[in-house]
Structure 1
Amino acid sequence: MTTYHTLGNAHRIICLLLLAIAIGIPCAAAVTLTPGSSATMTTISQGDPVYIRGIATGHPQVGLQVWFIGYNFAKVTTVQVNDDNSYDYELQKSDTANLAPGQYFVLIQHPMMNGRFDVVYDASSGAVINVQTGKTLYQFTGSGSLQSTDAATALIQAVSSQNIDDTFATVSFYVASPVATINPIGDRYTGDKFTINGTTSLAPDDELMVEIYSSSYIPTTKTQSSGLSGASGTVKVVAGSGGRNTWSFDVDTSSFAPDMYLVKVSGVLQDVTASTTFNVLCSGSGDTCSVPVSAVTVPTASSNATATATTTSPDTPTLPSTTVPVTTRQSPVPAAVCLGSIAAVLLIRRLT
Structure 2
Amino acid sequence: MNPVGTQYTGGNFTISGTTNLPAGQEINYMLQVSDIGPGSPELRPPSYTGTIAVIVGNEGINSWSAEVDTTKFKTDTGLQSDAVAGNYSLIIGPFCKDIFHLVIVDNSTSYNETFKSDSSLNSNDKTDSSTQTKQSPLPVFIIIFSMGLAFLFRR
Tell me what 1:214 maps to.
Answer: 33
Q: How many residues align?
A: 104
Q: Note the 1:117-132 alignment, pairs <5 A.
A: none
**TM-score normalized by structure 2?**
0.59
Q: In 2, are the aligned partners of 1:193 and 1:252 still within 8 Å (CA)?
A: yes
Does 1:266 pair with 2:88?
no
Q: Which of the residues 55, 77, 85 maps onto 1:238?
A: 55
Q: In 1, are the aligned partners of 2:55 and 2:63 still within 8 Å (CA)?
A: yes
Tell me what 1:183 maps to.
Answer: 2
Tell me what 1:257 maps to.
Answer: 84
Q: Higher relative contact order by CA 8 Å / sep ≥ 6: 1 or 2?
A: 2
Q: Which of the residues 5, 11, 19 maps onto 1:200?
A: 19
Alpha-carbon distance, 1:265 to partner: 0.8
Q: Which of the residues 284, 306, 312 maps onto 2:108?
A: 284
Does 1:229 pair with 2:46?
yes
Give the whole-Å Cα distance in 2 for the aligned partners of 1:250 and 1:287: 31
Alpha-carbon distance, 1:219 to partner: 2.7
Tell me what 1:92 maps to.
Answer: none
Secondary structure at 1:273 match in 2: coil
Alpha-carbon distance, 1:242 to partner: 5.0
Alpha-carbon distance, 1:228 to partner: 2.9
Q: In 1, are the aligned partners of 2:27 and 2:93 still within 8 Å (CA)?
A: yes
Secondary structure at 2:55 match in 1: coil
Q: In 1, are the aligned partners of 2:46 and 2:83 still within 8 Å (CA)?
A: yes
Give the whole-Å Cα distance in 1 for the aligned partners of 2:47 and 2:37: 13
Q: Which has the higher helix share?
A: 1
Q: In 2, are the aligned partners of 1:187 and 1:278 still within 8 Å (CA)?
A: yes
Q: In 2, are the aligned partners of 1:188 and 1:279 still within 8 Å (CA)?
A: yes
Give the whole-Å Cα distance in 2 for the aligned partners of 1:219 and 1:285: 30
Q: Note the 1:153-168 alignment, pairs <5 A.
A: none
CA shift digits 1:319-350 (9 cap, x unpaired): xxxxxxxxxxxxxxxxxxxxxxxxxxxxxxxx
Q: In 2, are the aligned partners of 1:183 and 1:197 still within 8 Å (CA)?
A: yes
Letter in 1 for 2:51: T
Alpha-carbon distance, 1:209 to partner: 1.2
Give the whole-Å Cα distance in 1 for the aligned partners of 2:102 and 2:50: 18
Q: Note the 1:13-32 alignment, pairs <5 A.
A: none
Secondary structure at 1:233 match in 2: strand
Alpha-carbon distance, 1:273 to partner: 2.8
Larger Rg: 1
Alpha-carbon distance, 1:185 to partner: 0.4
Letter in 2 for 1:198: G
Letter in 1 for 2:62: N
Q: In 1, are the aligned partners of 2:34 and 2:87 still within 8 Å (CA)?
A: yes
- CA, structure 1 residues 287+198, in 2 after alignment: closer, same or farther (shift >3 Å)? farther
Give the whole-Å Cα distance in 2 for the aligned partners of 1:193 and 1:183: 16
Letter in 2 for 1:281: V
Q: CA RMSD in A?
A: 2.3
Q: In 2, are the aligned partners of 1:218 and 1:228 still within 8 Å (CA)?
A: no
